[in-house]
Structure 1
Amino acid sequence: MSLTDDYLAAAADRGPQASAILSAAAPRLDATGYMGRCLSRPAFLEANAYRQLAADLDLLHSALTRLPERVFGGDLAEFARTVGMAESQVQAICRGRGPAPSRMGRADMYRDENGFHLLELNLGSTVGGVDNPVLNAAMLEHPFIADFVAANELTYAETMEEVVRTILTEAKVPTGVRPVMAIADFPDSYPELERQLHKSAAMLAPLGIDALACPVDALEYRDDRIWLGDQAIDVVFRLFMIEDVLKPGAVELLEPVLQASERGHVSIFTPLDAELYGSKGALALLSDEAYRDRYPADELAALDRILPWTRMVRSGPVTVDGQQVDLRERALANREELVLKPTALHGGDGVLLGWQTDSDTWADRLDEAMDNPWVLQRRIRPVPEVFLTDDGSEQWLLTWGAFLVSGGLGGLWVRGSQELDGGVVNMATGATATCCFYQR
């Protein structure tokens, strides 16, 4: 039996009612990534599965961040163009790149009988859910859950602490220095997130960072420093995304921060090249058989386990299971086994699920995407999990979010949907999340 099976059996016999767990947790989840709601139990992960996942994600990150040198001779700009970035984005990425690719990110995955399979890899400081341990702590206030966690030697990562270590490491903050960090979002999205950002900023204070939330246009570059009012800024925590660069006036708005970064007068966490490595176009390059000779055996094995077939939407032949076929013909004939995704949008924007789309619409959207920054990805069929209710049980389809940090794997944030045929899982559109306890 799995940990989940053991928990469900014990909870049905002597555990707290689901409503008691939910009502106790809800007040702790206001102004967090959970948006005030959660599932009725944690998710669980056995030691072997956890260790395999940690190793595979480490190798995936290694393979991704070596793509420029292995495939493009070190030309970052050409890599960016190939995966679908517009020229303004290419220039911003090259200007705002870091000394080395960031480790910060979140891998979103489905899980089936064979393990985890990647949906997308969100690399960079824009990933949500890093405040997830607030629910681990709330769940442990129930004696039944605390006893189950202790009896099975389960643990969880303090993701926010791991993020702070990653910031201090990658921004090269000297030991013993308490940096001042601006958490900067784009002006049009800042008002919606302002309350949550101020709460996150307060959570960073005990961890050694003085954080201030602001729209990025509030930052000024003068006297060889970035300033927020009269406060000098050491690190700019980037919440604005690569697609924001395409907005009118965006390049001019970001110019002070980019200039300061280029001259070494401020650290950006994470640099803009992080989202390049997290592009779905980069995953398409990793999935392409044409480049298999560029990777060592351990990386290939990890890619084969975790990365589903993914290709840029390009006219002409493509390799599928070792056979050359026409991409458009293949996509039309196998609509119910494919997903169409834009390469560089977030939060499920633009995603088209073939099995939920009629054939005419699918053909039209495929033609619109052809030779543009879109990818096709093979459908993953996850196994739903059971969650108890006060009067029985219900099934939820889980999207597992695993955080990558400087020290390896920095915790898990698990979102659920009751659309069991696999829809886009997004907290803003009604998904419900939970935390995870795992064995090391």
Structure 2
Amino acid sequence: MSRQSLTEEYLRESAGKPLGELLGSLPSSEFLNALYQARYLSRPTFLDRDEQQLLAADLENFRSALLSLPDRLYGGDLAAFARAVGMSEVQVSAVLRSRGPAPTRVGRLDMYADATGLRVLEVNMGGSLGGLDNADMSRALLEHPVLASFAERRGLTYVDTMRELVDSVFAETGFAPGSRPVVAMCDWPASFDRLRSYMTHYCARWQELGLDAHPCHIGQLDVRDDGVWLGDRKVDVVYRMFLIEDLMESAEAPGLMNPVLDAAHRGQVKIFTPMDAEVFASKGALAMLSDERNRGLFSPAELASLDRILPWTRMVRPGKVTLESGERVELLDYALANQEHLALKPTQLHGGHGVVLGWLPEVSPEEWREQVTAAVDGPYVLQRRVVPVPELFHDEAGDLHPWIVAWGIFTVASGYGGGFTRATTVASGTQLINLANGANFGTVLHVASDAD
């Protein structure tokens, strides 16, 4: 069955069921509510077996092409690559001091499902990813007999992404399973108070999975001659929830981050994930993957996957570019004449910050021209608009309404890592879908393969 037919069948079977009933025990989850504020979608989204397996292969090819960029374009010079994707010298220095032996496999691709399939909007890599707790959502939703029966008949399952994440921490830091390394789950001071409750629950779950984890912010770490300490605990792994953009927050920010990065550089502590993850998560890297001048660098399998899942993306630079049709155009002239089809995005920021969506009615041609012109030769990309196909979800009365869904698909050390969703109603008109803009949250079930 296709994703669409799975959805249609489940909607028929759950017809008239109110949102509160379908959520099972989800609204009472202390852990999840600490972050998601009890805002949940009435059902999972679905992937059929063929689409899930093709997506898993595409993610592997995408990752292979992405991580090869420093070698293929810059002779292995990671600093040159970091500068090219838009990083400042302060950020480049941070990347070089905490880079790992190999880039992390832990990431999340944020995607829309348009008429052709799932398409990448941006890549996130590292420990700060939201949605890694999606298995809790799946378990709670599957308590409802309608979904439980449907899932059993159709062979639906899910990946326990949190367990896969813990396995990835062991695999990438070199600690043996069962060794119970001390992990400082480390946020930035400005957001720690807001996330403290959630992080406390998260660390309790990790304790059950074999990590001696404790929540903190980076200002609470004490870097001594013999390593990094959190109170009276010597830290083995700093699980990094802070972002490289935090370095630019204030003049004091490097003083907080640099001692920890220096300790990692000396081998006194492991950082999961190292700061080089932020380079590969740049939208500037997406522009390199999309650029027609680089197509000769990639294998046929990589190209096929890039063509399937990556929309046209270019750094904002003067000069000619090639469109999907093969036509050559002046980038700036094209951007100004086609604003309704393009988004302007900063290469390094997260959470929709700094994004200008050309198709919004409030973005006048004059403002678009001003923004695009100011972005020339700066850390910005232009990306082709991906038009998502709305999905139907139940409201409190059991009626169905169309929502716009942003899919977050995870990669982990073992490969495909499951998914979670964020969504807002079509009626809301919200274009940037995140917690701050009132999104609801859900999970992804897929048809199990023999391997599952």
Question: Any idea what the Cα deviations from partners look like across 1:402-425, whole Å, max 9, x if unmatched?
Answer: 111101111110111114777111
Q: 1:21-32 maps to which residues of 2 (within 5 A)?
A: 21-22=22-23, 24-28=25-29, 30-32=32-34
The answer to whether the Cα contact below 8 Å between 1:385 and 1:397 also exists between their aligned partners in 2 is yes
- 5+ residue gaps, structure 2: none
Distance in structure 1 (CA, Å) of the matches to 2:229 and 2:158: 37
Question: Any idea what the Cα deviations from partners look like across 1:83-141, whole Å, max 9, x if unmatched?
Answer: 10001001111111111000111100001221110000101111111112111111111
Q: Given the alignment, which residue of 417, 420, 428 partners 1:413?
A: 420
Distance in structure 1 (CA, Å) of the matches to 2:183 and 2:234: 9
* Secondary structure of 1:195 counterpart: helix
Question: Any idea what the Cα deviations from partners look like across 1:218-240, whole Å, max 9, x if unmatched?
Answer: 11222422101111000000011
Distance in structure 1 (CA, Å) of the matches to 2:358 and 2:13: 40
The answer to whether the Cα contact below 8 Å between 2:424 and 2:433 also exists between their aligned partners in 1 is yes
Distance in structure 2 (CA, Å) of the matches to 1:406 and 1:28: 28
Distance in structure 1 (CA, Å) of the matches to 2:328 and 2:204: 55
* Secondary structure of 2:14 counterpart: helix
The match for 2:13 is: 10
One-letter amino acid of the counterpart of residue 382, structure 1:
P
Question: Any idea what the Cα deviations from partners look like across 1:16-61, whole Å, max 9, x if unmatched?
Answer: 4323224742112644543311011111111011111111111111
The match for 2:281 is: 278
What TM-score results when the alignment is normalised by the length of structure 2?
A: 0.94
The match for 1:144 is: 146
1:366 lines up with 2:372 in the alignment: yes
One-letter amino acid of the counterpart of residue 282, structure 2:
S
Question: Any idea what the Cα deviations from partners look like across 1:158-181, whole Å, max 9, x if unmatched?
Answer: 111010000010011024311110
Q: Given the alignment, which residue of 424, 437, 440 partners 2:445?
A: 437
Measured at CA, do residues 316 and 9 of structure 1 come closer, stay the same or move farther in structure 2, by a change above 3 Å?
A: same
Q: 1:397-412 maps to which residues of 2 (within 5 A)?
A: 397-412=404-419
The answer to whether the Cα contact below 8 Å between 2:99 and 2:274 also exists between their aligned partners in 1 is yes
The answer to whether the Cα contact below 8 Å between 1:33 and 1:129 also exists between their aligned partners in 2 is no
Question: Any idea what the Cα deviations from partners look like across 1:345-396, whole Å, max 9, x if unmatched?
Answer: 0111111110102111111111111111010000011111111332521001
Distance in structure 2 (CA, Å) of the matches to 1:37 and 1:79: 39
What TM-score results when the alignment is normalised by the length of structure 1?
A: 0.97
Distance in structure 1 (CA, Å) of the matches to 2:141 and 2:426: 25
Distance in structure 1 (CA, Å) of the matches to 2:309 and 2:21: 37
The answer to whether the Cα contact below 8 Å between 1:403 and 1:410 also exists between their aligned partners in 2 is yes
The match for 1:311 is: 314
* Secondary structure of 1:164 counterpart: helix
The answer to whether the Cα contact below 8 Å between 2:27 and 2:33 also exists between their aligned partners in 1 is no
Distance in structure 1 (CA, Å) of the matches to 2:196 and 2:34: 12
Deviates more, 1:329-338 or 1:23-32: 23-32
Q: 1:164-183 maps to which residues of 2 (within 5 A)?
A: 164-183=166-185
* Secondary structure of 1:189 counterpart: helix
Q: CA deviation at 1:301?
A: 0.5
The answer to whether the Cα contact below 8 Å between 2:430 and 2:437 also exists between their aligned partners in 1 is no
Aligned residue pairs total 438
* Secondary structure of 2:359 counterpart: helix
- 5+ residue gaps, structure 1: none
Question: Any idea what the Cα deviations from partners look like across 1:143-165, whole Å, max 9, x if unmatched?
Answer: 11111111111101111101000
Q: 1:149-228 maps to which residues of 2 (within 5 A)?
A: 149-228=151-230
Q: 1:102-113 maps to which residues of 2 (within 5 A)?
A: 102-113=104-115
Q: Given the alignment, which residue of 383, 394, 402 partners 2:389?
A: 383
* Secondary structure of 1:355 counterpart: coil
1:294 lines up with 2:302 in the alignment: no
The match for 1:392 is: 399
Distance in structure 2 (CA, Å) of the matches to 1:10 and 1:174: 46
Measured at CA, do residues 391 and 135 of structure 1 come closer, stay the same or move farther in structure 2, by a change above 3 Å?
A: closer
Distance in structure 2 (CA, Å) of the matches to 1:308 and 1:144: 37
Aligned residues: percent identity? Answer: 47
Distance in structure 2 (CA, Å) of the matches to 1:174 and 1:115: 39
Distance in structure 1 (CA, Å) of the matches to 2:78 and 2:72: 11
Distance in structure 1 (CA, Å) of the matches to 2:264 and 2:384: 39
The answer to whether the Cα contact below 8 Å between 1:35 and 1:427 also exists between their aligned partners in 2 is no
1:336 lines up with 2:340 in the alignment: yes
Q: CA deviation at 1:188?
A: 1.5
Question: Any idea what the Cα deviations from partners look like across 1:240-286, whole Å, max 9, x if unmatched?
Answer: 10111113122221122112111111110000000100100000000
Q: Given the alignment, which residue of 427, 431, 434 partners 2:435?
A: 427
One-letter amino acid of the counterpart of residue 142, structure 1:
H
The alignment yields a C-alpha RMSD, in angstroms, of 1.5
Distance in structure 2 (CA, Å) of the matches to 1:235 and 1:278: 22
